[in-house]
């Protein structure tokens, strides 16, 4: 009896500590990125008064939109403990397919849909290999990165596609009631992504797969179909980013999107989604994309070399992954 009495307070204390740890992790993953974005914005605003001007803020949103769209698709993949290294190349594929068909006379909306479909099909190939074989997602999408880039060079002969119809520029340069179209497209993507992840069985299944794959299988989750779907989504959204970029540049460029896969992963990780899967959310990825956009914009305003900018962003990514790893250990 005496031993049971002595052990009881210890059990209660352990329970309290566990609860505190859980609340700390929730705060860190959900509010940490937002607090970081606010603090970063305040620091840059102090160093450069130009930062808070309406024109510059709109510019930051426009510049962040493409990475944010790619990061939305990447979020779906990373929530399942996967990764998609091919999004930069699939961005180029979507851009080239859409611009080439538009130049050849296909109606612009249909050409854009074909561009998105091309990204989705190549994402589907990755999804089939990841979900039906034991090849790691890292290897599959690394291979698709090279395949996608090769497709763009073969399609164009390594030449830029120019002479686009005027209407093609609208997704990249157009405005609606003063709001840039890339920003509106980004908002729609994130609204739909949030609804899917939080209000549907499919969204809950992704968290289950990333949290514990075997438990998800035993609970009746169609793991293969879900894994297939997330790579299709990622590929299609990468191609959407390509259509936006082509509209902004008024051309289709086979080398477009180089390095964008790393930027999208960085945005997701900075936003608090765990690389181990099962934790995080799409709104965090949006914040992460804006952290990167604000950081780049601020460094440009301060005339910091582009080389130092990459070092700064790399440091932020390592720090974000480090925090995620420490949370997992706790």
pLDDT band (50, 70, 90) for residue 18: low
- Which range of 30-34, 98-102, 279-283 scores highest in mean pLDDT? It is 98-102
* Statement: residue 29 has pLDDT above 80: no
Residue 76 near residue 223, CB atoms below 8 Å: no
* Statement: residue 167 has pLDDT above 80: yes
289 to 34, 39, 114, 309: CA distances (angstroms):
11, 15, 27, 15
pLDDT band (50, 70, 90) for residue 25: low
Beta bridge partners of 252: 161
* Model pLDDT, residue 322: 78
Residue 122 or 166, more confident = 122
* Model pLDDT, residue 317: 79
Q: How many residues belong to the chain?
A: 330
Mean pLDDT for the chain overall: 88
* Model pLDDT, residue 13: 42
Long-range contacts of 219-226 (CB under 8 A, 24+ apart): 223/131, 224/131, 224/132, 225/131, 226/80, 226/202
- Rounded average pLDDT over 266-273: 91
* Model pLDDT, residue 147: 96
155 to 29, 97, 152, 298: CA distances (angstroms):
43, 8, 5, 37
* Model pLDDT, residue 27: 58
Element (H, E) at 180: strand 179-180
Per-residue pLDDT tens digits for 272-297: 898 888 888 999 999 999 999 999 99
* Model pLDDT, residue 101: 96
* Model pLDDT, residue 315: 86
Per-residue pLDDT tens digits for 303-329: 988 888 888 888 887 887 777 677 666
* Statement: residue 24 has pLDDT above 60: no
Could you tell me which of 226, 275, 293 has the C-alpha nearest to residue 68? 293
* Statement: residue 1 has pLDDT above 70: no
* Model pLDDT, residue 10: 41
- Does the pTM surpass 0.85? The reply is yes
* Cβ atoms < 10 Å from Cβ of 201: 9
Angle at 190 between CA 188 and CA 191, to 5 degrees: 65
Under DSSP, is residue 274 helix (H, G, I), strand (E, B) or coil?
Answer: coil
pLDDT band (50, 70, 90) for residue 9: very low
Tokens at residue 228, please?
Answer: 């297939």
- Report all structural domains of the chain as residue ranges with CATH numbers, in order of start: 50-329 (1.10.3470)
Residue 93 near residue 194, CB atoms below 8 Å: no
Per-residue pLDDT tens digits for 36-84: 899 999 999 999 999 999 999 999 999 999 999 999 999 999 999 999 9
* Cβ atoms < 10 Å from Cβ of 22: 11
- Measured distance CA(170)–CA(165) in Å, rounded: 10
* Statement: residue 162 has pLDDT above 70: yes
pLDDT band (50, 70, 90) for residue 14: very low
Residue 287 near residue 33, CB atoms below 8 Å: yes
pLDDT band (50, 70, 90) for residue 235: very high
Q: What are the counts of helices (DSSP H) followed by strands (DSSP E) for the chain?
A: 14, 2
Which ranges in 157-259 belong to alpha helices (H)?
170-173, 181-199, 201-211, 213-218, 223-249
């Amino acid at each position: 009896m005496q031993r049971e009495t002595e052990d009881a307070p210890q059990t209660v204390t352990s329970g309290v500590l566990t609860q505190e740890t859980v609340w700390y992790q929730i705060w860190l993953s959900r509010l940490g990125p937002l607090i970081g974005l606010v603090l970063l914005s305040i620091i840059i605003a102090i160093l450069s008064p130009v930062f808070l001007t309406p024109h510059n803020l709109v510019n930051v949103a426009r510049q962040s939109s493409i990475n944010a769209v790619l990061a939305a698709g990447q979020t779906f993949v990373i929530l399942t403990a996967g990764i998609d290294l091919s999004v930069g190349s699939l961005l180029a594929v979507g851009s080239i397919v859409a611009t080439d068909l538009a130049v050849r006379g296909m109606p612009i909306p249909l050409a854009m849909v074909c561009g998105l479909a091309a990204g989705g099909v190549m994402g589907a190939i990755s999804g089939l290999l990841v979900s039906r074989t034991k090849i790691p997602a890292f290897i599959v999408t690394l291979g698709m990165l090279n395949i996608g880039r090769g497709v763009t060079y073969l399609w164009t002969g390594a030449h830029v596609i120019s002479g686009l119809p005027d209407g093609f520029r609208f997704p990249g340069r157009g405005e609606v009631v003063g709001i840039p179209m890339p920003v509106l497209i980004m908002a729609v993507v994130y609204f739909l992504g949030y609804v899917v992840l939080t209000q549907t069985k499919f969204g809950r299944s992704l968290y289950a797969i990333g949290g514990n794959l075997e438990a998800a299988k035993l609970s009746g989750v169609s793991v293969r179909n879900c894994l297939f779907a997330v790579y299709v989504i990622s590929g299609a959204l990468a191609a959407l980013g390509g259509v936006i970029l082509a509209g902004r540049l008024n051309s289709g460029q086979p080398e477009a999107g180089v390095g964008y896969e790393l930027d999208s992963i960085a945005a997701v990780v900075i936003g608090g989604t765990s690389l181990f899967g099962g934790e995080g959310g799409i709104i965090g990825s949006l914040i992460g994309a804006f952290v990167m956009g604000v950081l780049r914009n601020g460094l440009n305003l301060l005339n910091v070399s582009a080389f130092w900018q990459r070092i700064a962003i790399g440091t932020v990514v390592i720090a974000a992954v480090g925090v995620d790893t420490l949370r997992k250990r706790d």
